[in-house]
């Protein structure tokens, strides 16, 4: 709850500043918005670290391969970074670039899925 209050405060200040500055200088307003987003991400890092530690512990208990753990984390990071980047592009009117970012994120996810598919096939082989 505390983290969300911090994030809400950061966002309210950043958006307010961007709105005021946008009237005179749109480029600076965009930089304020980007910096606000970065501050929000850094604020959320503490929670993500706790989630990561819990995730690693669950994967260790499951007995699954460590490659599967890192691949799953790659999936999440690709999705988050791709979505944030594409939305920034769309917000600025660069929908073509945003589509390219979406495509790149999807392609990278497919490439990252190869170890998961290999692990599934090896599990099937062990079962059979």
Tell me the pLDDT tens digit for each residue of 1-40. Answer: 788 888 889 889 988 998 999 899 988 998 998 898 888 8
pTM of the complete model beyond 0.75: no
Burial class (CB in 10 A: 0-12, 13-18, 19+), 63: exposed
Say which residue the tokens 């769309």 belong to: 90
In angstroms, the CA 51 to CA 63 distance is: 19
In angstroms, the CA 32 to CA 38 distance is: 10
Q: Tell me what pLDDT residue 120 has.
A: 83
Distances (CA, A) of 119 to 5, 72, 82, 124, 125: 41, 12, 25, 9, 10
Each residue of 47-91: pLDDT tens digit? 777 777 887 787 778 776 666 777 777 888 888 888 988 988 888
């Amino acid at each position: 709850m505390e983290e969300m209050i911090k994030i809400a405060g950061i966002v309210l200040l950043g958006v307010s500043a961007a709105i005021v500055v946008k009237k005179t200088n749109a480029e600076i307003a965009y930089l304020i918005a980007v910096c606000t987003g970065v501050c929000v991400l850094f604020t959320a890092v503490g929670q993500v670290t706790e989630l990561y530690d819990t995730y690693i512990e669950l994967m260790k208990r499951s007995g699954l391969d460590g490659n599967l753990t890192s691949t799953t984390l790659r999936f999440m990071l690709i999705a988050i970074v791709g979505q944030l980047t594409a939305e920034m592009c769309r917000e600025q009117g660069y929908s073509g670039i945003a589509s390219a970012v979406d495509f790149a994120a999807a392609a990278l996810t497919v490439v990252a899925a190869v170890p998961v598919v290999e692990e599934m096939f090896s599990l099937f082989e062990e079962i059979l």
